[in-house]
Amino acid sequence: APGYEIKDEQKLYNVAKFMEVETDGRDVKEIALDVADRALEDFGRQEGIIYYVSRAPKRRQEIWEKARIYPRGVDREVVEMMHRTHIGVDQDAENILRHGLRTSLSDGWGGSMLATDISDILFGTPKAVSSTTNLGVLKEDEVNLVIHGHEPTLSEMIVTVADDPELINYAKSKGAKGINITGICCTAIEILMRQGVPVVGNFLQQELAILTGAIDAMVVDIQCIIQALGKLVETNHTELITTSPKAKIPGATHIPFDEHNAQEIAKQIIMKAIDNFANRNGTRI
């Protein structure tokens, strides 16, 4: 999709090996496409086991096989667990536990590990960085936009687009000295470890951050978004922006995020924050 690129080719080659994708003499984009197809295949797999099981030590694999908890497919195990724990289905505690272990392996060795590797391929493998944290990272004379959620396809694009001279000049035309991108909760760690973006706070501080009166927009996608935020912004100037069709919030502005048009949507979100800068009624930091 426009705006995204492969930033860690070596990681791509490593993942391709585990996913049994041929790499010799092939274009890097062709390899990436096949890796993506194999990744999706593991989520919907109905036969065999997930590719990443091969990354575990041989002895560990033998234990999983003996215990009959080899993860078969990411979605399959989750759906089966929901079925087993429905009323009147699996009533044997040991049997439920065994499938719980199988589900955790499919999530960890299939979903989470794979998603981490793909994030590294697209956005770069994290390295040690120096940054700042806590509510003091909010700036009184700049547009403060807080990214909150879990999906790096959105947060990474906002960080990239915020450096656009056109947007910076637009912010200055509204009386701000610049654009201050910060993060909160889990997505904050994504943009911290790859981009050095400052962290406003953790899960417990999202309401306090809005109460400072300094946040012009908080953009969210999925998970860890406290239900009170929708009501809280009614008495504060902060613009709460939802982006996922799976997570809408009453009282929030919804701007659907689509990876195929990510740059333009990121610009639209940032401009919303800039336009709201003039509506601040003092800050309480």
Fold of 9-123: Substrate Binding Domain Of Dnak; Chain:A; Domain 2 (1.20.1270)
Q: What is the pLDDT tens value at each position of the chain, 285 positions in all?
A: 899 999 999 999 999 999 999 999 999 999 999 999 999 999 999 999 999 999 999 999 999 999 999 999 999 999 999 999 999 999 999 999 999 999 999 999 999 999 999 999 999 999 999 999 999 999 999 999 999 999 999 999 999 999 999 999 999 999 999 999 999 999 999 999 999 999 999 999 999 999 999 999 999 999 999 999 999 999 999 999 999 999 999 999 999 999 999 999 999 999 999 999 999 987 776
Report the distance separating Cα 224 and Cα 185, nearest Å.
8
Which CATH code fits 135-279? 3.40.50.2030
Closest C-alpha to 152, from 180, 110, 194, 182: 194
Going edge to edge, which strands form the sheet with 217-220? 199-201, 179-184, 143-148, 217-220, 239-242, 253-254
Domain boundaries, the chain: 9-123, 135-279
pTM: 0.93
Rg over alpha carbons for the chain, rounded to the nearest Å, is 22
Q: Are 251 and 230 in contact (CB under 8 A)?
A: yes
Query: How many Cα neighbours within 13 Å face the side chain of 173?
Result: 8
Tokens standing for 213? 């009166």
Whole-angstrom distance, CA of residue 170 vs CA of residue 172: 5
